[in-house]
Amino acid sequence: MTDTMLAARMHHVAEEMRLEQIPVPSLGPGEVRVRVHAVNIVPNLANILRMWTTWFPQDPLPTLPAIFGLDPAGEIEAIGEGVLGWNVGDRVYVNPGRYCLACRACRQGDLINCSSYAFAGYFGFSPTSVELLDRYPGGLAEQMIAPAYSLVLLPDNLDYYSAARMGYLGTMYSALKKVGAGPGKTILVNGISGTLGLGAVLLAPALGLTTVYGTARDKKLLKTVADLAPNVVQVHSLLDGPVDEWIHQQTGGRGVDIYVDALGPGAAPETFQQGMRALARGGTCVNIGALMGDIPVDLHNLMDQQKTILGSAWSTAAECQEMADMVAAGVLDLSPLEHSVRPLTEVNEAISDISSRNGGFTNFIVSPSAR
């Protein structure tokens, strides 16, 4: 008799998840089976489930019915053939990035640029991603299969609910690393109170960030963000005027070295353009948000002022391990997160809850091990 497990699966685009007993997935070489304790219900999940095939038909979903769930954490239940250095019972975060290990980018060690790169339990970036998506379902099930290369060992002081935030946090971390963020650099984050943007404030002590300017709309939420690091973070509501005017006032007309765009889908393109105008000569914009479509940029100004625009998607398991080590060392404090936890049986309610979040502070978790 095959062992079974409870899983949430979507059978048709935009339908609710169905709770089903399905066989526990079999373990292949190089893989581990993880008992899932927490999955992050990230703000974009509802878009993926309902809108993705319309908005981004070039970015495929897994073959339906499929188990979604992007950011899982749990403990290793079984170890596949050839896996070295991991043990049953290890507490882990599973980085959902999947790659083929065989294409040109993979062979160069440039894993996120794999030509088949996929987010397990979410979507892929090319037609060949589907094979990886179908081999590696997401975390909205009692157990999941993960390649050993995706694992991040959790220190004792990092709980599963906080660990399941590692994906969005890692997106900010990887972007800040790519542009050399650190002491002495001035940083502007558009969308600082959101799930992505808040990461810059949480990561500030570990990265030695000394000046972070942040914008959003909600003034009450902005104050809560600024209170986390009052000597580092300055905030501005978009209701009080354009971002570039505020930045030029704050910096004596110079502008910022780094502009991180963490705006959500549907944000006004003008806010991005203001961020570009807020860049100092030689500055870099890194886009990790979800702005869509074509937005005009003054290319002559870009050349004259030697500005750079960079796109950055996600982070590697190695970068997540660095963040786990920072938590272990006490320089990355995730205690400001407010966990909202539901059992797997309430997965549809959890996805609907997203609209009621307290900005990026709310950490929506489905826990397949909770009753």
Residues near Zn ion, by CB under 5 A = 99-100, 103, 106, 114
Query: Is the Cβ of residue 113 or residue 273 nearer to Zn ion in the bound state?
Result: 113
CB of 117 to Zn ion, least distance (A): 7
CB of 129 to Zn ion, least distance (A): 10
CB of 114 to Zn ion, least distance (A): 3
CB of 359 to Zn ion, least distance (A): 36
Whole-angstrom distance, CA of residue 295 vs CA of residue 43: 23
Query: Is the Cβ of residue 129 or residue 171 nearer to Zn ion in the bound state?
Result: 129
Provide the b/e sequence for 105-131 (b: ≥16 CB within 10 Å): bbeeeebbebebbbbbbbbbbeebbbb
Query: Is the Cβ of residue 29 or residue 330 nearer to Zn ion in the bound state?
Result: 29
CB of 35 to Zn ion, least distance (A): 28
Token pair, residue 48, equals 């993926």
Query: What residues have CB less than 8 Å from 185, skipping those under 6 apart?
Result: 209, 210, 211, 257, 258
Whole-angstrom distance, CA of residue 7 vs CA of residue 139: 9
Q: How far apart are the first and last CA of the chain?
A: 25
Token pair, residue 135, equals 């081999």
Query: What residues have CB less than 8 Å from 304, skipping those under 6 apart?
Result: none
CB of 45 to Zn ion, least distance (A): 25
Query: Is the Cβ of residue 106 or residue 351 nearer to Zn ion in the bound state?
Result: 106
Query: Is the Cβ of residue 100 or residue 291 nearer to Zn ion in the bound state?
Result: 100
Burial of 21 (0-12, 13-18, 19+ CB in 10 A): exposed
Rg (CA), the chain: 20
Query: Is the Cβ of residue 114 or residue 337 nearer to Zn ion in the bound state?
Result: 114
Phi-psi region of 167 (alpha: psi -120 to 50; beta: other; left: phi over 0): alpha
